[in-house]
Amino acid sequence: MYRLLALALLTTACAPLPPAGPASALFVDLDQITTGRERTDWVVDPVELAGVADDLMRSYCPTPAAERDVLRAWIAQQLTLHGGSAEAAWRAAGQDLDAADEALHLERVALLLKHGATYEKDCPFWLPQDPAFTGVHADAYRFVLQAETMGAFQLVFPDGGDAVFGGAGLGRLLAGTGLNHRFTLLAGLEMGLASELDRAEGGEVRFTPGFAAGLPVVLRTHAGSLRFDVGLALTGRSADPDFSDPRFGLRYDVAIGVAALRIAGVQPFVMLWTGHEWLPESEGRPALNSLRAGSRVGVNWDP
């Protein structure tokens, strides 16, 4: 998974965007709207366009007219680089739709842009054209807050002992900023449980609770509605709820998931994640290596 995520991050970071400014912000929003509709199988253009009209106009109306023209020209240029229309690519590949994916996606973004023009006269007064428009659904150039739950199955390997199974459940609060339309940097606090199941003498299964906390830093990459996270955290663990006599370590993790559209400043998301936590030997307690895999569910809020 680490290699696949690294490849995805590299591909996303290198993916082309229109020139920086409102044209780029509009493309990122329309890209996310299109990706979300494609995920549920875009079939009939008029039906799909009617279904996204409100979300489309929240991004289209504040984009200056000249910037919309910049985006139209950029999409036409990208389609030329991809060899022309999606239908031409499909026929050239022996009617293989996968070969036309990128061109088809760009054509659908262009359809959204064209559809927006039909409603332009109906843009509300409270969404005037804004030369500083930075988008609706990305974090670009804005302060964001994030709250999430983070659950995982874990496998713990103590030095000199047998591996044991367990689970972890954490709540996290993070704050950060959108560095641009591709990357968001977040940092914050997490707290919860990281418990283990093992066997006592005589073979009886016992539950060993552990209280966990951490200071995570996360770099998030955006690609349409997809999100890719790389995280590093200073972690602590204690057998006592008051967190006395803690052990400290490090965790690195990666995650991949999807985000919904942002509504009223709130953007829900869900991710799958995996990570490795290392606690060094401390006061006679053996070093621990924990492998974790699970899910994260949360909301990103633009206050």
Q: Quote the CA–CA distance of 159 and 241 in Å, as a whole number.
A: 25
Question: Alpha carbon of 69 to those of 28, 32, 65, 117: distances in Å?
Answer: 15, 20, 7, 11
Strand, coil or helix: what is 86? helix
Question: Alpha carbon of 29 to those of 25, 65, 68, 72, 261: distances in Å?
Answer: 6, 16, 13, 14, 9
Q: Specify the pLDDT at position 12.
A: 53
Q: Specify the pLDDT at position 158.
A: 78
Strand, coil or helix: what is 30? helix
Domain ranges in the chain are 22-122, 143-301
User: Phi/psi of residue 13, each to 5°?
Assistant: -65, -30
Residue 237, class by beta-carbon neighbours within 10 Å (0-12 exposed, 13-18 middle, 19+ buried)? buried
Please report, in tens digits, the pLDDT of each residue of the chain (303 residues total).
555 555 555 555 556 888 889 999 999 999 999 998 888 888 898 999 999 999 999 999 999 999 999 999 999 999 888 788 888 888 888 888 888 888 899 999 999 999 999 999 999 999 999 999 999 998 999 999 999 999 998 888 877 667 778 888 899 999 999 999 999 999 999 999 887 665 455 555 455 677 889 999 999 999 888 999 999 999 988 877 777 778 899 999 999 999 999 999 999 999 999 999 998 887 777 788 889 999 999 999 998
Q: What is the pTM of this model?
A: 0.84
Topology annotation, domain 143-301? Porin (2.40.160)
Question: Alpha carbon of 244 to those of 132, 209, 214, 248: distances in Å?
Answer: 50, 14, 15, 12
Q: Specify the pLDDT at position 294.
A: 96
Report CA Rg, the chain: 23
Q: Quote the CA–CA distance of 264 and 253 in Å, as a whole number.
A: 30
